[in-house]
Amino acid sequence: MKTAADILLILLLSGIFGFIHSFLASNKIKRNIAEKAGNKIAFYRLFYNFVSVISFVALLEVCPKPDIIIYELKPPYDLVMFGLQALSLFGLIAAAAAMDLKEFTGIAQVKRYFEGTYKIEDLDAGQTLDTRGLHSISRHPVYLFSILFLGFRPYMDLFYLVLFITASAYFFIGAYYEEKKLIEKFGVEYIQYRKKVSKIIPVKFNFKGDKNEFASS
């Protein structure tokens, strides 16, 4: 009974985290802030990332951690799983490297603000379209390799399994809402890109890519 209650609490807290994260990321919220704060919206991405990190750490601290082992791989199978996890980590690093990390963290926006070159219509981030490289096999390669890295685990307990499932679900839900914003920004160009390349799990590819560049998770 306690185990079921623990699982429900983990799901509840993860759901609250996901809702807050998505709510704060919505263009509606950003536009409302921009109307009141003007070009100081340039600081929003930095604030958003700070809140996300703090709230995620709090989630990990507060969540119950039922001491139930789902599986524990023995040699040599654990080494195989470690190898797959290492490969997915390299993929994650490569996907992150293709992004403008200063833009992603919010540093670039703050810099433009102090230089007087920030455009309020960018809201909290400027974006360009990149359909080459890893974006030619997945529209959200950071999400893809995050799921693989989290899933290829030689040791799995109940807490981590539930967290992995909720995180994976959030990646797919987050990608859905993120793409609504991308269609709003890039229009037909992004719609055509969606027809050629899978959302997260690679099923259809476009290795030719296009020269318009988009950096997104």
- Decide: helix, strand or coil at residue 129: strand
| pLDDT greater at residue 212 or residue 1 | 1
Would you state the pLDDT for residue 132? Answer: 86
What's the whole-number mean pLDDT along residues 13-17?
93
Mean pLDDT for the stretch of residues 127-144: 89
Reduced to 3 states (helix: H, G, I; strand: E, B; else coil), residue 213 is strand
Q: Is 99 helix (H, G, I), strand (E, B) or coil?
A: coil
Classify 70 as helix, strand or coil. Answer: strand
Ranking 70-74, 87-91, 166-170, 213-217 by mean pLDDT, the lowest is 213-217
Residue matched to tokens 């693989």: 148
| Top-confidence residue, 156 or 213 | 156
Closest CA to 62 of 12, 24, 137: 12
User: Looking at the predicted structure, is the pLDDT value of residue 112 above 80?
Assistant: yes
Provide CB contacts within 8 A for 59, sequence distance 6+.
Answer: 13, 14, 17
DSSP 199: S
- For residue 17, the model assigns a pLDDT of 93
* pLDDT higher than threshold 50 for residue 198: yes
Mapped onto helix, strand or coil, the DSSP state of residue 71 is strand
State the virtual CA torsion across 139, 54, 160, 176 in degrees, nearest 10: -30
Measured between alpha carbons, how far is 91 from 94 in angstroms, rounded to an integer? 5
pLDDT at 207: 61
Q: Which of 102, 122, 100 is nearest to 42 (CA)?
A: 122
pLDDT band at 101; cut points 50, 70, 90? confident
Dist. CA 54–CA 70, nearest whole Å: 29
Q: What pLDDT sits at residue 165? A: 96
Is residue 124's pLDDT more than 80? no
Nearest-CA neighbor of 170 among 50, 22, 65?
22
- CA atoms of 146 and 66, how far apart (whole Å): 24
The model's pTM: 0.87
Tell me the average pLDDT of the chain: 89
Q: How far is Cα 100 from Cα 125, in angstroms, rounded to an integer? A: 10
SS3 69: strand
pLDDT for the residue numbered 164: 96
pLDDT at 214 over 50: no
CA distance 209 to 135: 8
Q: What mean pLDDT is predicted for residues 84-98?
A: 94
